[in-house]
Amino acid sequence: MDLVDTTNQMGKGMLSIYERYNRVRISGYIQPQFQVISKEGAETYAGGNFSGLSNNRFMLRRGRLRVDYAHLNENDDPTSYFVFQFDGTERGVAIRDFWGRFYENKFKIFALTTGMFARPFGHEVNLSSANRETPERGRMSQILMKTERDIGVMLTVTSRKTQEWHQKLKFDVGVFNGQGMSGPMDYDSHKDVIGRFSLKPTKIRAMGNATLSAAVSGYAGGIVSQSEILYKTERRGSEYQAVRDSSSTNLHKTRPRNYAGADFQLSFPNSKGETEFRAEYIKGQQTATFGTSETPGTYPVTNGVKDPLYSRNFDGAYFYFLQHLGSLDHQFVMKYDWYDPNTKVSGKQISASNGFGKADLRYNTLGMGYVYMANESLKFTFYYEFVRNEKSALENYESDVSDDVFTARVQYNF
């Protein structure tokens, strides 16, 4: 009883700790899984490439520990919020979130976030891996927004109330380094500006109390060239080629990473669960290298020589269909996505003689799976992906490469 007696020193100390730390929330989850892929050593975006002589593996895909702390003033209004999250697997330990946010309490519509946090672009990028129905984000999301997070500052404008329609609108705009967590530091002075204007989940009575959320996103970024050689896809005669530009003015020239996207999520309630549709489309310009269209985490170098940058027009999309099966515990998942890293060329036009490589190939992926929620802390996922690349004139890519993958995952969370 001494611990709750506030008339003595111990009781006062415990009360102080309780008042200070009852606003702390500790959470986490782990995702052990088993995977089988259709060919040994296949490349995949389903958790990383397989080793050369392996077509199956056990792995700890994610192991997260997160701490949230909120500070409230005497009126119980939030003044600041702090989050840090770590990811630990057999491959090592890394930070995932390390950010703080402070709020103004006069108009109660502004907040400023600083640190390492998710980029405010699109829906799938910001959907937590603990809540996502598919094992991984789509190929497009992983390539354009590798590791999802970046270091920067973001202004959020939205009402803390949601009674009126205009209070359901939200605007986020931020300035970021650009390379995200895929590199140890920013390698140029150019900063990327990202914005998202969204409608929070809203009931639509005319559609049987369906819930709708939607957004448009924009990304204005770039990479500063550290080489005098640049490539871009241009028409030469009757066909497109990767055209080399070796002008001396290319040194320190900013090459574009400009994206525009739109997404929506629409769910219909039924007697025992929900039916949900999601879609997102993104197009724009991406600058990377010959071998990949991923945003480089460090400036690409080969044998001590700075690699040339390649700029390509791209587009991609994904579509989800989610259906509960008689209860909230059972769910069917189907997802189709595509990513075309170079929309100016396709099929046999993609050849080494025209200066193209595997980074220019379009991929289409159809995934289907089943999710079982055993309880609030235990989830099972079984998911199969049919992955198809376009046929080209490139060696080893004249037909579809065998890289279909099956994932069986257990998620424990608290």
The CATH number that domain 28-413 falls under is 2.40.160.10
pLDDT for residue 18: 54
Q: Which helix (H) or strand (E) holds 13?
A: helix 9-21
CA distance 118 to 126: 6
b/e per residue, 103-126, with b = 16+ CB within 10 A? beeeeebebebebbbbbbbbbbbb
Phi, psi of 226 (to 5 degrees): -105, 15
Q: How far is CA 75 from CA 25, 163, 209, in A?
A: 21, 21, 34
CA distance 43 to 412: 28
**Sign for the pseudo-dihedral over CA of 321, 326, 329, 332:** negative
Global confidence as pTM: 0.91
pLDDT for residue 182: 84
b/e per residue, 170-188, with b = 16+ CB within 10 A? bebbbebbbbbbebeeebb
Phi, psi of 142 (to 5 degrees): -70, -35
- The whole-number mean pLDDT for each consecutive block of 10 residues of the chain, a chain of 414 residues, reads 44 54 86 98 96 96 94 88 93 92 93 96 94 96 93 94 85 95 88 97 91 97 96 93 94 96 96 95 97 93 94 98 96 98 97 97 98 97 98 96 98 96
Strand, coil or helix: 353? helix
Q: Which residues contact 67 (CB under 8 A, 6 or more apart)?
A: 24, 25, 26, 83, 84, 85
pLDDT for residue 61: 97
Phi, psi of 190 (to 5 degrees): -75, 135
Please, which residues bridge with residue 63 across strands?
30
Tens digits of residue pLDDT in 13-42: 545 655 666 688 899 999 999 999 999 999
pLDDT for residue 274: 95
pLDDT for residue 21: 60
Tokens of 211: 């819930």
Find the farthest-apart pair of alpha carbons in the chain and give their distance in angstroms, rounded. Answer: 89
Please, which residues bridge with residue 174 across strands?
154, 194
Tokens of 374: 């055993």
Strand, coil or helix: 165? helix
CA distance 312 to 289: 10
pLDDT for residue 237: 87
